[in-house]
Chain A
Amino acid sequence: MNVNMTAREAILGAVRLALPKPAVALPDEIHFLGKPRISSNVGYKGELPDLEKVAGFPAPEESLVPFFEKQLVAMGGRSFRVGSAMEARAKATELFPEARVWASTVPEVPGNRRVRAGDSPGSFADVDVAVVRSRLGVAEAAAVWLDSEDLVVPSLGVLAQHLIVMIDPSKIVPTLHEAYGGGLSGETNPYGVFMAGPSATGDIEGVIIHGAQGARSLIVLFAEEELR
């Protein structure tokens, strides 16, 4: 412990002596720590993200869903819109007819493997399909946010062979600025991840392969919350 304290003091001391001059101001406000704030075209000034110039990006009053869908395809995922719990179940079985072990944290599509806080993380290694609900999506990258609360046991999101993520279209924001400045500003979960499509690698001659380590496929179901 003593050695550790010495290293800490030595590093902080060396950094203090080395600080480049003159000091550079933080964009917008310096005294910002702890204060969430929604922002601008680059997150710091103005009103809304200036993204209408991006090909196909929806205008402020338009739905973000079509753009999200397009981006998700580019990231290697697929999406469907479902209007009822029965439709969600039907779509899930249609997509994975061979799946035997289903683990679900959502009421709409019940699984046959229970997911309880405190379950051993490794116990989900044999799960074929996990069904979970995200509370925040980002249209720009077709990313869905999943944290310890949504997944109940975080390993479920990466050990399941396939992943179905339900999301209410109203929970999709245009860019990461709105996500970090808004929905995630009070986030305190131990673990959280933005997933943009399934696991992927290009490490062998740049050939894109899905399912390198995590989910082999990622399906987004647009479904309102409390779907019956």
Chain B
Amino acid sequence: MSLFRMFGDKPVDPQDAAARFIEDSKHEEAHDRLVWAMRTNRDKAVAALPDWEDLRSVASQIKEHTLTHLDTYLEHFEAAATANGVHVHWARDGAEHNAIVVQIFEERGVKLAIKSKSMLQEECGMSESLTKHGIEARESDLGERIQQLSHERPSHIVVPSIHQLRTDVAELFAKHLGTDPNNSDPHYLAESMRNDARPQFLRAQAGMTGANFAIAETGAIVVCTNEGNADIGATVPPLQVCSIGIEKLIPRQIDLAVMLRMLSRSALGPPMTQYTTHLRKPRPGAELHFILVDNKRSERLGSKEFWHVLKCIRCGACMNTCPVYRRSGGLAYGGTYSGPIGIVLDPAFDPHKYHELPFHSSLCGSCSEVCPVKIDIADQIYKWRREIVSQGELPAVEQAGIGVLGEVLAHPGLFEATETVGLRTLKLLPNAVLANRLNPWTNGRKMPVPAQTTFRQWFEDNRRRDGEDA
């Protein structure tokens, strides 16, 4: 059963989408539990490594260094890769990226490509674009394939189908693979997909991957997977095409040690992913293509407030820890990226479509704390709110409230009066008045019981006598 379909170009409504996800308590409960388990595993892994905070600092610094010298490292990488016999392409945006892929495939008569997970190819809408040219790009990662068959975006950058229950998958596979609809044993389902995918791997004329890291020093790329699907795509077909965001660069091979020690621990807890794949040169008789993609990254790099987000290594820790993400599901964000990192990535692609996202957060700050490369995600969410407001995109309910608040806070006397009146009102008003349809954040929640007195009254009664100033 698919709870969501792709959103169009109209602004996404995360509250409404989240409400539909929560409607089914089984999905909400499982999602919250599974995603939180990843966060717990991350904590155990981090606690076992005394160097963790040093690693974070060094990782952050490596990324900041690379980004502040990005032109040089891109040239280094291109030169090293070219010397290795790799074809290096450059794409300004998704359309250019897709056109390059289509051209490579059409020239070589490729009709079926088998791909491993790539958020960048997702971002470019590559698979849809290839379909229009009669080329099938089949997802090989189990979760991605589940999402592809469901006609949904990945709901999580590491575990794309984490919002689906085993019974959803059983129903889906029964329809597409002819499996027993009543058998929802994950072992049976995974085995069925393995057997379905194998012949396609052997038949595919091209393999596609993204890149977790691109090393300027050696011209190699590194792809991290747990299933080994990137390796099959990289070692079986005679042609490989890898899409690389320009922010994936790191200077040296030894920098990989720092990054890789953090990536899987932050994502799921284990010290490394099962497969850490290095592609440096085409195999004898094969072709290897790297496509370096900008797609608004250079624009972001030039933003004093938002360039830090380019440090992201796509571990998903911020999603796992986020109380809003865990309860609303990743599809509620309606963009390529979801969770806290999605809130700060998606609006940069389309501020109108994603203007609600920065408000889909409690600003608790946990995302910034778990980020392995020290991105100030919570601060960036706050700054995006400012950005959205300055573009006149503030949601109506917030707009009305904030106007009044500004007036009241600007006048201390008025604030004192309002505070007392407000508290009395809170006690008298039924939940239904505050938790109304204009304020979707209160749906499914009970309002806290108001305090007996205002803080000011409490201070007067309890502390004033101690001779302190108010």
Give Cα A176 to B261, complex, Å.
7
A12 to chain B, nearest CB (A): 5
Judged by a CB distance under 8 angstroms, whether A63 is at the interface is no
A-B contact pairs, 17 of them (CB 8 A): A4-B90, A24-B61, A26-B65, A44-B58, A75-B274, A117-B284, A176-B272, A177-B257, A181-B254, A188-B280, A190-B283, A191-B234, A191-B278, A199-B228, A204-B164, A212-B226, A213-B227
B286 to chain A, nearest CB (A): 8
Whether the Cβ atoms of B65 and A121 lie closer than 8 Å is: no
B270 to chain A, nearest CB (A): 6
Whether the Cβ atoms of B140 and A213 lie closer than 8 Å is: yes
* In-complex Cβ contact of A14 among B37, B191, B294 (8 A): B294
Whether the Cβ atoms of B307 and A205 lie closer than 8 Å is: no
Judged by a CB distance under 8 angstroms, whether A140 is at the interface is yes
| Residues on A with beta carbons closer than 8 Å to the beta carbon of B190 | 201, 203-204, 209, 211-212
Interface stretch, picked from B67-75, B343-351, B448-456, is B67-75
Judged by a CB distance under 8 angstroms, whether B162 is at the interface is yes
Using CB atoms, name the residue of chain A closest to B169.
Answer: A204
Using CB atoms, name the residue of chain A closest to B55.
Answer: A42
Known contacts A26-B251, A176-B261; A41/B65 CB under 8 A: no
Judged by a CB distance under 8 angstroms, whether A79 is at the interface is no
Whether the Cβ atoms of B274 and A196 lie closer than 8 Å is: yes
Known contacts A19-B71, A118-B284; A212/B227 CB under 8 A: yes
Whether the Cβ atoms of B280 and A43 lie closer than 8 Å is: no
Whether the Cβ atoms of B274 and A200 lie closer than 8 Å is: yes
Interface stretch, picked from B43-51, B385-393, B438-446, is B43-51
Give Cα A153 to B294, complex, Å.
34
| Residues on A with beta carbons closer than 8 Å to the beta carbon of B159 | 202-203, 206
Whether the Cβ atoms of A27 and B50 lie closer than 8 Å is: no
| Residues on A with beta carbons closer than 8 Å to the beta carbon of B37 | 206
What range describes how many residues of B lie at the interface? 35 or more
Produce 1/0 per residue, A117-155, CB < 8 A to B.
Answer: 110011001000000000000101111000110000111
Whether the Cβ atoms of B74 and A204 lie closer than 8 Å is: no
B89 to chain A, nearest CB (A): 6
Judged by a CB distance under 8 angstroms, whether B380 is at the interface is no
Judged by a CB distance under 8 angstroms, whether A83 is at the interface is no
| Residues on B with beta carbons closer than 8 Å to the beta carbon of A54 | 48-50
Whether the Cβ atoms of B257 and A179 lie closer than 8 Å is: yes
* In-complex Cβ contact of A205 among B68, B186, B268 (8 A): B186
| Residues on B with beta carbons closer than 8 Å to the beta carbon of A199 | 226-228, 274-275
Whether the Cβ atoms of B275 and A194 lie closer than 8 Å is: yes
Whether the Cβ atoms of B280 and A192 lie closer than 8 Å is: yes
Judged by a CB distance under 8 angstroms, whether B273 is at the interface is yes
Quick one: which of B135-165 are within 8 Å of A by CB? 140-143, 146, 159-162, 164-165
Whether the Cβ atoms of A18 and B302 lie closer than 8 Å is: yes
A228 to chain B, nearest CB (A): 32
B206 to chain A, nearest CB (A): 13
Whether the Cβ atoms of B194 and A213 lie closer than 8 Å is: yes
| Given A202-B159, A212-B194, 14 more pairs with CB closer than 8 A | A7-B92, A15-B246, A19-B67, A19-B301, A33-B76, A54-B50, A142-B271, A181-B254, A187-B253, A189-B280, A193-B278, A204-B166, A214-B229, A214-B231
Whether the Cβ atoms of B142 and A42 lie closer than 8 Å is: no
Interface centre among B68, B198, B226, B258 (most CB of A within 10 A): B226
Judged by a CB distance under 8 angstroms, whether B374 is at the interface is no
Judged by a CB distance under 8 angstroms, whether A195 is at the interface is yes
B66 to chain A, nearest CB (A): 8
Using CB atoms, name the residue of chain A closest to B193.
Answer: A212
Using CB atoms, name the residue of chain A closest to B272.
Answer: A141
Give Cα A56 to B227, complex, Å.
28
Give Cα A190 to B70, complex, Å.
25
Judged by a CB distance under 8 angstroms, whether B252 is at the interface is yes
Whether the Cβ atoms of A154 and B61 lie closer than 8 Å is: no
* In-complex Cβ contact of A11 among B140, B146, B298, B304 (8 A): B298
Judged by a CB distance under 8 angstroms, whether A184 is at the interface is yes
Give Cα A159 to B197, complex, Å.
12
Judged by a CB distance under 8 angstroms, whether B369 is at the interface is no
Give Cα A20 to B141, complex, Å.
36
B185 to chain A, nearest CB (A): 9
Whether the Cβ atoms of A213 and B270 lie closer than 8 Å is: no
Judged by a CB distance under 8 angstroms, whether B235 is at the interface is yes
| Residues on A with beta carbons closer than 8 Å to the beta carbon of B260 | 176
Whether the Cβ atoms of B274 and A20 lie closer than 8 Å is: no
Quick one: which of B163-179 are within 8 Å of A by CB? 164-166, 169
Whether the Cβ atoms of B235 and A155 lie closer than 8 Å is: yes
| Residues on B with beta carbons closer than 8 Å to the beta carbon of A30 | 65
B193 to chain A, nearest CB (A): 8
Judged by a CB distance under 8 angstroms, whether A10 is at the interface is yes
| Residues on A with beta carbons closer than 8 Å to the beta carbon of B96 | 7
| Residues on A with beta carbons closer than 8 Å to the beta carbon of B302 | 14, 17-18, 20
Give Cα A51 to B190, complex, Å.
37
| Residues on A with beta carbons closer than 8 Å to the beta carbon of B257 | 39, 43, 175-177, 179-181
A63 to chain B, nearest CB (A): 19
Closest 10 CB pairs of A and B: A214-B228, A18-B302, A203-B143, A14-B298, A212-B227, A176-B257, A141-B271, A141-B272, A190-B281, A204-B186
